[in-house]
Structure 1
C-alpha cells in the first residue's frame, strides 16, 4: 500500500511536470502528448521484459524477500532523483530505473502471496493483497493533485515547489515499504521436493500442451491482463486534454482516476472470496464483458461526473477479473514455480500499463466524427476488452473444482 501510494503519485505528477515548462532540452521533435506517453511507458516496457527472469531467479533461490526489498530501495532512489533533474532525457533514464525496481519487486511479491495462501482461500488472499495495493494506488492521485495545487511550501526554512513535495512523498513511501517488508515478512520454508520443482530453464508456454485448447491458460490470462491494463492506462497521458474538454482541475482528474481504484478497493476481496466458492472463470468473463462499455464511454462523456461514473464501472470490471485471474494462475502453479508462472500476469499487466499511455498519445490525434477529440483511444480499448473476453471464454478452464477435492492438486500446466 505504501509503495503503491508513492508510485501512483507519479501518474498525476509526471504528465503535469513534463508539460509545466520546468523540463527543458526539447521534445525530440515529437508532440508533447506523445513524449509524455513515451516517458510514462518506458518503465512499463523495461520492467515487463525483466519480470519473467526475476521471477525465475526467485524460484531458483527461494529467497523472495530480498528481491522485494532491493526493488523498493531502487524505487526510493529513483523517486528522489526526479527532484534533481529538469530534462526529458534525464527523466526517461529515471523512469527506466523505476522499471528496474518494479521488476525486482512485483514477481517476488505475488509469488510470496501465492505461496502463503491456502489452496481453498487463494482468491481471498489475492483479493486482500490487491485491495491494499489499490488503497495506496487510489489515494496517490488525489493527494498528488492537492499537493501540486497547494504548493509552493516552506519546510525547515527551504522553499519547495509542489512537484518537489510530490517527489519526496513518493520517495518516503517506497522507503517505508522497504522497511515494512524487512521487518515483517519472511520467506516460506522450502522443502527438497519444492527445490527440485523449480527447474533450470525459463519456460513460459504459449501453446496448451496439456489440455485440448490452442493457447496455454496462463498465457491467455496474461493476454486478458494486458488488454485490461491498456484500457485502464489510456486516461493517463490525456490529462491536459481531458481537463480542458471537461473544464476541470488536476484535483478533479485525480478523483476521476481514483474512482476506478475505489471500486477495486470495495470489491477485490469479496470477489476473490466468491471465486474460491463459485469458481474463477465466471467472474473473469463477467468483468471482461463489463469492461467493454465502461472503457468505450470514457471517450464520450461531457461532464466530470460522467467520467467519475465511467471510471468506477471500469474499476468494477477490473475487480471482477484481476483477483480471480491471479488466483487461477496460482492454482495452476506447482511447487516453487510461482515466480515464473505469476510473472506472466504481472509482466502482461505492466506491459499494458506501458502500451496504454503510448497508444493513447498516438491515437488521440485521430479524431472520430462523434465524441470527444480524444475518443479514439477508448474505442480501441473497448475492442481489446472484447478480444480478451473471447480468448478467456474459449481457452481457459475452471480450476476451483480440482482444488476442492482433497485428492487432487492444482491443474498441471506446461508453463510450470
Structure 2
C-alpha cells in the first residue's frame, strides 16, 4: 500500500498530504452528492410525512436542497477565520467529516419533512468546517511555484467524487431492498444513506491517519471577520480577492442556470433524460480532465491569463445555450462552459493563495468558496424565475453576469507570480 501511494504521489507530483486530502474529499464527495439524487426520491416516498407548512412537495425538495448550500456558504467565512485564529486545519476537517457521517446516518431515522430539513441544515454547517480548512491546508502545503498544480489535483479528485455519486445513487435506491445474512432486509434508501455514511467515515479515517497540519501554520489571533472591498495597498479600486469572489459568484450562477430547467431543455431539444444527463455531466467532465493541467500551467505562465481567458470564454458558451436546438451542440456548449470554468477556478484559488498572508489562508480562500456556493444556489433560482420570459432569458442573464465578471477580473486583477513565461491574454495588446 505504501509503495502504491508513493507511485501515485510521484505521478501527480504533489505533497502526499495534498493527495491524501484529495482522495478523502473524493470519498466524502461521493456520499454527499448521493443525496442530491436520493433526497428528492425520499421526500416523495411513503417513508416521509408530517407537516408540510402549506408547501408542495416540489417546493419542500427545493427548500431542503437549497438550505444546505446557503448555510454552507454563509458559515464558511466564520469557520475559515476561526481556523486561522487557532492555526489549525486538521481538527476542523475532522469535525466536519464527523458531522457529515452522523447526519448521513440520521437520515435512516428521519420520517418527517421537518427532520429532513434539520438534518440537511446540519450537513451544510458540517461541510462549512471542511471546505475552508481543506483549501487552506492545500495552500499551506504548496509554494508559489506549484500552488496551481496542487489546487488542480485537489479539485480534480473532489469533482470525480461529486460526479460519481449521482450516477450510482439511483441504482442503489432502485435495486433495493437488500437481503441481510440474518434474513432481514434494508430498503434502497437506507442502503444509500448507509453508503453515504461509510464514505464519510473513510474520509475521516484517511484524514486522521495520514494528514498533519504543516509545521509553518501559525495562529492568527488578530484575524477579524471583515472582507476588504477596496484595494488598500495596490493600484486598483477593488481588493483582488473580493474581485475574484464576485467573479466566482457570477461564474457559478451562469453555470448553474441549466440545472433546474430540465423539462424546458428536453422539450426544446426534443430529447430525453439521457441526453440531459450527458449535457449536465459535460461540465464536470471538462473540470475533471482540465483542472490539474491548467493548475500546473498557471504555475508556469501566471494566474491572470487563465482567469481572464476563462471568463471571456464563459460569455459565448453561456449565451449560445439559449438559442441552440441540437442536443449534440448543447452537449458541446456545456463542455466548453466547463473548460471556461476550469480555466478560472484553480488559478483563482492559486492567486488568492499567493495573496494570503501568514495565518490568513482559511479566511482569504473562504471568500472564493463561499461566493461559488452562493452562485450555485442563486443560478437555479434565477433560471426558474426567468424561464417564463422565454427559453433564452436565463442564458442572457447569465451572459450579462459573465460580461461583468470579465470586466472585473480584467481591470482589477494583477499577476501575482514574480516571473512567468509569456502567454497571450485575450484583450491584451
Under TM normalisation by the shorter chain, which class is it? Answer: 0.7 to 0.9
Q: 1:27 to 1:308 in 2, by over 3 A?
A: farther
Match of 2:191 in 1: 165
Match of 2:352 in 1: 329
Match of 2:7 in 1: none
Contact 2:302–2:420 (CA under 8 A) maintained in structure 1: no
1:291 is aligned to 2:314 = yes
Give CA deviations for 1:260-314 in whole Å, capped at 9, x if unaligned: 1111111011111111111111111121222223334445555654443333222
Task: Give distance in 2, aligned partners of 1:83 and 1:40.
Answer: 17
Match of 1:248 in 2: 272
RMSD over equivalenced CA pairs, Å: 2.6
Q: Which moved more, 1:381-390 or 1:265-274?
A: 381-390
Contact 1:134–1:265 (CA under 8 A) maintained in structure 2: yes
Give the number of equivalent residue pairs.
Answer: 394
Give CA deviations for 1:233-282 in whole Å, capped at 9, x if unaligned: 33444456656765534x66544333211111110111111111111111
Alignment of 1:115-194 (within 5 A): 115-156=140-181, 157-190=183-216, 194=218
Structure 1 residue 402, shift from structure 2 partner: 6.2
Task: Give distance in 2, aligned partners of 1:241 and 1:125.
Answer: 39
Task: Give distance in 2, aligned partners of 1:22 and 1:382.
Answer: 42
Task: Give distance in 1, aligned partners of 2:221 and 2:303.
Answer: 26
The TM-score normalised by the length of structure 1 is 0.86
Match of 2:255 in 1: 232
Match of 1:79 in 2: 104
Task: Give distance in 1, aligned partners of 2:322 and 2:60.
Answer: 21
The TM-score normalised by the length of structure 2 is 0.83
Match of 2:11 in 1: none
Q: 1:41 to 1:136 in 2, by over 3 A?
A: same
For structure 1, list consecutive stretches of 5 or more residues without a partner in the other structure.
405-416
Match of 2:374 in 1: 351
Contact 1:15–1:239 (CA under 8 A) maintained in structure 2: no
Task: Give distance in 1, aligned partners of 2:106 and 2:271.
Answer: 33
1:212 is aligned to 2:229 = no
Match of 2:118 in 1: 93
SS at match of 2:136: helix
Q: Quick one: which of 378, 392, 398 aligns to 2:415?
A: 398
1:57 is aligned to 2:74 = no
Match of 2:304 in 1: 281
Q: Which moved more, 1:28-37 or 1:382-391?
A: 28-37
